[in-house]
Structure 1
Amino acid sequence: MEYQPVSRKLILGRYIAYGIVLVVLAIAIAAGALLWTPWLWLAMLVLVIYAGWQAWLIPVQVGATGWREDERELVISKGRMWHSLVVIPYNRIQYVDISRGPIATKLGYADVQVHTAAVVDSTIPGVPLEQAEHLRARFSQRLS
């Protein structure tokens, strides 16, 4: 079976979230470099390198995230370098949450978190909103 990919809008959402943090850090570093010591410009260089790394990494991470539903279980796959594969039997699911912040709401996606008794990362990020609601409804039906 093929994995369902997450929404490509998740890439833009993560760029916006990381971008806000990086801009605030860049302003703080620039102010420190101008007011105290020019050595802080090295921190700005590190920040620029980190921003470039994230610009490359985010689409790779999003492209490597997906899920599939079998007859008896949900399978969540994440990552390429540090791959994680979470298999959740339907009879172990306790409840399902859908969450979305302001960026996700604007871009039309949500995170689906499947809760079990075990403590595992069972979140599917960036699911299109309509599909997330269908997932929650299907899982809730299986729980009944």
Structure 2
Amino acid sequence: MANKKPTRDLIGIIWQNFLRSLRPRQFRGNYIGEDYFGNKYYEIPANPSIGKRKSSRWFEPADKDAFDQELTAEWEAWLRGRREEPPTRDELVKNLQIMDMKKRNAAELDAHYAKAKDAAAMPKQVEGETIGTYPKYEEYEIMPGKKNKGQ
């Protein structure tokens, strides 16, 4: 027997590719999960046998007419392929609680510093003067070149 090199059968390759192209493809994705905004997430897994190396991931928004959709960071990372597994319900609840706690703490700090800021922003009144629409400070002259009554 003579050593024969395997040859490429071009017609056979074309025929196999044609037959593979007639197989039904998956157009509808598998439901993966939902976030607390109501967005639903889907995926069509990768299939290297047909040349599809990456999975297709997308979401259906809760309100299809709104153009400013909010996504959680965990689901966005999954959509962009930065994480393999979709987020779990426990992970989403835990991160939502942390987010709410941070909002409450920020509101408390804002209220605390707003009181201190308001107290510092109030001008000192010159004696005998009433509060007017324009603040009057002791260190500024009311009439140029003339000293205030308190000085």
Q: Classify the TM-score, shorter chain.
A: under 0.3
TM-score normalised per structure 1 = 0.25
TM-score normalised per structure 2 = 0.25
Instruction: Specify which structure has the bigger relative contact order, considering alpha-carbon pairs within 8 angstroms and separated by 6 or more residues.
Output: 1
Higher strand share: 1
